[in-house]
Structure 1
C-alpha cells in the first residue's frame, strides 16, 4: 500500500510541475507575441507601488511614476528599454554593470523583475506611428555615448528641475530623470521640437498629451495599450 501512496504522490508532483511549466510557457508566449509589435520610440509607462513612486504619482496626479523608451538594436533579438532610474537591479547591456541614471536594459527583464520585486504593478505602452528616419540608430548611439555616465537626480533636484522646466529653463545634462531622458532623446533624434526644455516633461504629459510637438509624419497613439496579467513576463530561472 505504501508503494501505491508513494506512486500517487509522485504523479501529483509531476502533474503540478507540468501544469506550472505549461502556465509559465503560456505567459512567455503571450509576452513574445506582444513584444513583436514594439518598435524603437514606443513609450513604456510604469505604475509604481513603493513609497517613492507613490509620492511621484500623488504629486503629479498621475497613474504613472516612470517612463522609458523601447529600442531595437542590432545584435539583440529582443526589445530593449532606454530609461533613467534609481533601481539597481539589472545590468546595463552595453556597459555590463549595474548603475543608476540612463541605462539600456532588456525590456522583458525590467518588467518581470519589477513585477517580482513588487516595484510596479501596471504597465502600458504608447506606440509611435510613422517611419523612423534612416539615421535614427546613429543619432541614438551618439546620444547614449554622451549621457550614459550621467546619474539620476535626487528627489529635491528633480523637483527643482521640473520647476525650472515649467519656466522653460533647460536643466544641465549631468543628471536625467526618466521623462526628461525620454523627451531629450526624442529631441536629439529630431522626432520632437524643442518647444519646451526636456525637463518640462513628466510621465503624465508623455502619456496623455495629444499635442506634443512631434516631427511631421510621426504620431503617438491616442490610447495607451495596457499589458494584461497574462502578458506580463515572468523572471526566468
Structure 2
C-alpha cells in the first residue's frame, strides 16, 4: 500500500497510552523530524521522512522498547516513553511528526530461528558509538544519495549505519528485502515507498495527558 506523505496529517492520531497499546514487534516508526541532521536526511531523500526505528514488545516485562541507530550513540535500545520525551519541545512531546507503519509479512516471517537471527544481529551492535571516520562515511553516503550516485565499495556500510540502513539489515535477517535503487544509501523513505508497508496510526501532538508525568511507562 505504501505510506503516503499525507499520512502525517490524515491518519488517526493517538495519544501515548493508545499508541503504546497498538504497537507490535516489527512495527516501523517513520519520523519527520525538525532537527539539523533530520533536515539533511530529508534534503537527501527529497521526502518528509528523516528517521526510522523499530518496535520490540517485551510483554513479559510489560515494556515497549525502541531499537534504532542514531548518530551520537550508534545502535541503542530505549523504552518507548523515554524515546518520545528525551528531545521534546514546548509544542510537542516529539520534535516532529511520527507515523507507525506495519509490514504485511513481518509476523509471518519473524518466527523461531528467523526471529533469533534478527535479535542476534540487532543486539550484537548495541552500545558501540560511531567513530569520526564512520560518521564521515555516513555523511558521504547521504550526500551521494541526494545526487543519485552509486557508492564506492570503500564507503559502503560495514558496521556503521544510519537508521534506515540498520533496519534494512534487520529485516534481511527474516528474509524481507526493502526495495531501493542501490544509489547512495537506503533512506527512511524506502520504507514508506515499500508497498508491503501499511500506515497504521500517527502520534498526537499532545501525546501525554496533562495530569500524568512524561516518565510514565
Q: What is the TM-score of this pair, normalised by structure 2?
A: 0.70
**Shift in CA distance, 143/85, structure 1 to aligned 2, threshold 3 Å:** same
2:125, 2:183 → 1: CA distance?
14
**Shift in CA distance, 75/34, structure 1 to aligned 2, threshold 3 Å:** same
Query: Which residues of structure 1 form unaligned runs of 5+?
Result: 1-28, 88-99, 211-218
Q: 3-state SS of the aligned residue for 2:37?
A: helix
Partner of 2:4: none
Partner of 2:119: 141
RMSD: 3.3
1:65, 1:195 → 2: CA distance?
16
Q: Which has the higher helix share?
A: 1
- Aligned residues of 2:75 and 2:129 also touching (Cα < 8 A): yes
Once the 2 structures are TM-superposed, how far is the Cα of residue 123 of structure 1 from its aligned partner? 0.8
The answer to whether 1:62 aligns with 2:47 is: yes
1:202, 1:193 → 2: CA distance?
11
**Aligned 1:218-229 pairs, distance under 5 A:** 219-221=196-198, 223=199, 225-229=201-205
- Aligned residues of 1:207 and 1:224 also touching (Cα < 8 A): no
Partner of 2:100: 125
Greater relative contact order structure (CA < 8 Å, 6+ sep): 2
Once the 2 structures are TM-superposed, how far is the Cα of residue 140 of structure 1 from its aligned partner? 2.6
**Aligned 1:156-167 pairs, distance under 5 A:** 156-162=136-142, 163=144, 167=150
Which has more radius of gyration? Answer: 1
**Aligned 1:79-228 pairs, distance under 5 A:** 79-87=64-72, 100-116=73-89, 120-130=95-105, 131=108, 132-152=110-130, 153-154=134-135, 156-162=136-142, 163=144, 167=150, 171-192=156-177, 200-210=185-195, 219-221=196-198, 223=199, 225-228=201-204
2:77, 2:53 → 1: CA distance?
10
Query: Which residues of structure 2 form unaligned runs of 5+?
Result: 1-13
Q: 3-state SS of the aligned residue for 2:111?
A: coil
Partner of 1:235: 214
**Structure 1 stretches of at least 4 aligned residues deviating more than 6 Å after TM superposition:** 193-199
**Shift in CA distance, 228/172, structure 1 to aligned 2, threshold 3 Å:** closer
Alignment coverage as a number of residue pairs: 187
Q: 3-state SS of the aligned residue for 1:144?
A: helix
Once the 2 structures are TM-superposed, how far is the Cα of residue 73 of structure 1 from its aligned partner? 3.2
